[in-house]
Amino acid sequence: PYAIYPGPRDGSAIACGRAGYAVLSGSALAYIVVEQVAIRAIVRFAQAQRACVLTDGGDAWIVDASLARVARLRVPEGAIVGLATAGERVLAWTYDGELFAVAPDGAARLALPGVRDVVLATPDPVRHGDVIAVTWRPESGVATTRGRIAWS
């Protein structure tokens, strides 16, 4: 494998290689998908036994622990460029600079309405439930914004 990520379940991992990806459970190979697609990132949903898989092409899927159920993640602003785990949700930011909070069922909503030009995001390590978004604009450079994920 060329990369190993935390798996959808505690004690599992997802190993990615040139010819596909597989779920490892303990020391055993549990499930495998053979598909030639470059994986950029995999993050898990806390306590949902699901993970979000992001390809180099900007496509993302939500997979269950057995890789049997795969659902494409759709956000209105186009290609996804980054993912981060944020508790029971996943943060996904797009090429167009929008930041979305994604639920394990695939529902996606703007995480911080009004915040644009996001290039990186992470859960706030101090304030539980808050997010730190890093933005960049040519005229003003880098800035950070903190806020609570909007989910109503």
Per-residue HEC secondary structure of 15-74 comes to EEECCEEEEEECCEEEEEEECCCCEEEEEEECCCCEEEEEECCCCEEEEECCCCCEEECC
Q: 4-8, 81-85, 97-101, 106-110 — which is least confidently predicted?
A: 4-8
86: how many CB neighbours lie within 10 A of its CB? 23
The structure's pTM equals 0.84
pLDDT over 60 at 1, yes or no = no
Taking residues 85-105, what's their average pLDDT?
92
State pLDDT tens for residues 43-89.
888 878 888 988 888 889 898 877 777 888 888 767 899 999 988 89
pLDDT over 70 at 34, yes or no = no
Q: Are 93 and 100 in contact (CB under 8 A)?
A: yes
State pLDDT tens for residues 21-31.
778 887 776 66
The neighbouring-strand residues paired with 110 are: 100
Q: Are 93 and 119 in contact (CB under 8 A)?
A: yes
